[in-house]
Amino acid sequence: MLDSEDSAPQGIELRHLRYFVAVAEAGTFTHAAERMYVGQPTLSQQIRRLEEFVGTPLLQRRREGVRLTEAGIVLLEESRAVLSLVDHGVSRTRRAAGLGRSRLRFIVQPHLPSTLAAEAVSRLRSAAADVDVTWLETALDAEFSSILDRRADAALGWMSPADRTLPDPLDVMEIGVFEPEVWVPEQHPAAAHGGIGLDDLARMDIIHGPRRLDPGTYDAWRTVLRTGNPRFDFTDPPFRQSLPMTLAFAATGSRPSAVLTGPCHRVGSEARPATDAACHQMVPVRVERSRLSATAGLVWSADLPREVQQMLFDTAENIAV
Give the pLDDT confidence of 198-237 residue by residue, as tens digits: 999 999 999 998 888 888 889 999 999 999 899 999 999 8
pLDDT of amino acid 2: 37
Q: Are 74 and 20 in contact (CB under 8 A)?
A: no
Pairing verdict, β 65-68 and 131-136: unpaired
How do residues 82-134 score in pLDDT, each as one tens digit?
Answer: 988 887 787 778 767 766 667 899 999 988 898 899 999 999 998 887 788 99
Alpha carbon distance 120, 110 (integer Å): 13
Confidence label for 54 from pLDDT (cuts 50, 70 and 90): very high
Alpha carbon distance 299, 205 (integer Å): 34
Confidence label for 1 from pLDDT (cuts 50, 70 and 90): very low
Max CA separation in the chain (angstroms) = 75
Per-residue pLDDT, averaged over 146-167, amounts to 78
Per-residue pLDDT, averaged over 157-182, amounts to 78
The β-bridge partners of 60 are: 67
% the chain with pLDDT above 70: 88
Q: Are 180 and 270 in contact (CB under 8 A)?
A: no
- What is the average pLDDT score of the chain? 84
pLDDT top residue among 128 and 59 = 59
- Using CB atoms within 10 Å of the CB of residue 25, give its burial: 0 to 12 exposed, 13 to 18 middle, 19+ buried: middle
Q: Is 287 helix (H, G, I), strand (E, B) or coil?
A: strand
Contacts of 298 (CB under 8 A, 6+ apart): 120, 154, 155, 156, 172, 173, 175, 312, 315, 316, 319
pLDDT greater than 50 at residue 275 = no
Give all strands (DSSP E) within the chain, no chain letters.
59-62, 65-68, 102-108, 131-136, 154-159, 170-179, 182-185, 195-196, 205-207, 257-260, 265-266, 282-287, 294-301
pLDDT of amino acid 166: 65
pLDDT greater than 50 at residue 186 = yes
Closest CA to 108 of 76, 75, 72, 146: 146
Q: What is the pTM of this model?
A: 0.64
